[in-house]
Amino acid sequence: MGRLAQTDGLTEIQRDILATVRDFVDKEIIPVATELEHKDEYPTAIVEGMKQLGLFGLTIPEEYGGLGESLLTYALVVEEIARGWMSVSGIVNTHFIVAHMINAHGTQEQKDYFLPKMAAGEIRGAFSMSEPGLGSDVSAISTKGVKDGEFYVLNGQKMWLTNGGTSTLVAVLCKTDEGGSSPYKNMTTFLIEKTAGFGPNPTVPGLTVPGKIEKMGYKGVDTTELVLQDVRIPADRILGGVPGRGFYQMMDGVEVGRVNVAARGCGVARRAFELGISYAQQRSTFGKKIAEHQAIQFKLAEMATKVEAAHQMMVMAARKKDSGERNDLEAGMAKYLASEYCKEVVEDAFRIHGGYGFSKEYEIERLYREAPMLLIGEGTAEIQKMIVGRRLLEEYKIAE
């Protein structure tokens, strides 16, 4: 396995979980990932395998049928899965965010109804905040929910839903205009159950998932739009039962999601390093293996240092969240560092492969197309730096 990206202080249970997932990745994901990715084919067999391992319920409390593990355990599992194929980690990420939001903010009825089914993988979640013209300005959402008796009528268009077609539960952020002058108190999260598939939804009149968005990478997993036209949702499907709390619920979910994206960056970078150092010991130029050239050794040293630094930053952010402390500073740092380092490590591995790195026969070609998504997912580098900068000014504010 190598000495990089090791985590101190894990329990025996955590080590066993990670060993099981690592074995699953090596046997069930890596051998088929590139073929499935090139076909843009949903990894049905892999998802079934993850259900059997209990990964969809990894962090859901035991009382609801889950394993009750920490965010750290989950992040380390995601790192292993992303090392095999980043798209597979995306399938569990949005599911986990929705499960976390329900567990942290849902009513008891919502927990009792959704969490056991989510733990078993029977219900799989998607997370819907972004819109076509929204970008990072969440306060500018235009999808609206209007109260109508015991229902809310939803209208609008959402964008960039991971698992938008294959999911059966979507947490959708809408503007509800019931919280006064602050835009952040006028947002509400609705839990919408639907049938998996594309086109007009047969069980939710007015809800449409138009189809998959074609992407340069991050294939296999479906990324979609979500169109809502007079969709009627019962008021008891408001997350937490009270309108106006949606922004804060979503930000809590995004905060955990940033740790997840950092973990994905760590996993992809580690795989790129493995491919690069392996190829460097096989390819010969000027009469010796390229790993013996100082220029390549320097590159490998830089790559390994970045893999290690990103991993330890990600672990710190996960542990901070698990402790119950505020972790937006650490999560922002981890997501920023891991995604940027991932891009750099993948590019260096690509360079080590030379012309062969440009061939679809080599795995590094896939990683080269996957890494850019991490630069924008769960908030761009610029957003992370803005969050980190503001928090630092809070922490180091001078007395006036």
For this structure, is 400 an active site residue?
A: no
**Residue found under tokens 């937490």:** 240
Cα 242 from chain centroid (whole Å): 27
- Rounded CA-CA distance 46/87 in Å is 11
**Residue 377, helix vs strand vs coil:** coil
**Spatial contact of 58 and 96, defined as CB atoms under 8 Å apart:** yes
**Spatial contact of 92 and 57, defined as CB atoms under 8 Å apart:** no
Q: Exposure of 50 by Cβ count < 10 A (0-12 exposed, 13-18 middle, 19+ buried)? A: buried
Which two three-digit tokens encode residue 395?
């922490």
- Rounded CA-CA distance 303/70 in Å is 29
Residue tagged active-site, from 302, 365, 378, 382: 378
**Residue found under tokens 């900068």:** 389
**Spatial contact of 204 and 231, defined as CB atoms under 8 Å apart:** yes
- Rounded CA-CA distance 273/235 in Å is 50
Active site residues: 378
